Amino acid sequence: MLLSFHSYKGGTGKTTLVGNLGVLLARDGSKVCIVDTDVNGPGLHSLFDIKYDLTLIDFLQGRCRAQDVVYKHDHEGIELYIVPTRACEEDISSLFNTPGEAREKMSELIKVLQRDLSIEHLLFDCSPGINRSSLLTMNLVDKATIICTVDVQDIRGTYILSSMAEKLGTRANLLFNRTPGDKQKEIDEVIKDFSNKLGTDLLGSIAFDDYVARAWSRKLVMEEDPECDYCLQLRSIAEKLV
């Protein structure tokens, strides 16, 4: 399954969620690859402590093969692979003459991963905001998940992202992250109403977790303590998603 993860604003915990979700799916026996398409603020390489030579950008610019930018994450024998990226001033589409060329190159990467590694779940960590890179990826996947916080500006931006997904014909899911744990019942009612108005599938919400916050986006709590509160909430989300 091809899954993309988006947010209107930065700081929603998107990369942390995608990384831990990838570990969860791999622990359950699936072959998983996570692709970092956030070329303006890449973070997956830090989360997985990857020392890379070549990245997604090098492949897109024709300097190497797709196989050269795939790095295996070695942990307890799980089948998890990472395609990191490096910071870039342009977005992915700007590297090509036409959007069609960009789509073709990304499709090539997907085919190689599925053919050579038998990847079952391919996760894309996309750039925050409404940009061509994010929309390009959204148009390639089976499901797009929009990660939102209980912030008024973020919610307004999520409405726009959801509308874009609808225009592209991509099924959109909505997930609220880092919600205040002491007001979970009231928040659940608000986000359910918001999801109904958007017409999106509501995956649910994940409460703010001090354990995850203390990780500073430098380690994976799903590896350290898969039974922690955050991980149990994430497992519930994963069951609905895949």
Looking at per-residue pLDDT, the higher value among 216 and 141 belongs to 141
pLDDT digits (tens, 9 = 90+) for 105-134: 999 999 999 999 999 999 999 999 999 999
Residue 109: CATH number of its domain: 3.40.50.300
Token digits of residue 86: 């490096």
What local confidence, expressed as pLDDT, does residue 185 receive?
78
pTM, two decimal places: 0.96
Give yes or no for a contact between 93 and 133, defined as CB atoms under 8 angstroms apart: yes
Give the SS3 label for residue 36.
strand
pLDDT digits (tens, 9 = 90+) for 199-233: 888 999 999 999 999 888 888 999 999 999 999 99
Number of domains, the chain: 1
Q: Which domain holds residue 119?
A: 2-241
Torsion of CA 140, 193, 151, 162, to 10 degrees: 20
Give yes or no for a contact between 60 and 95, defined as CB atoms under 8 angstroms apart: yes
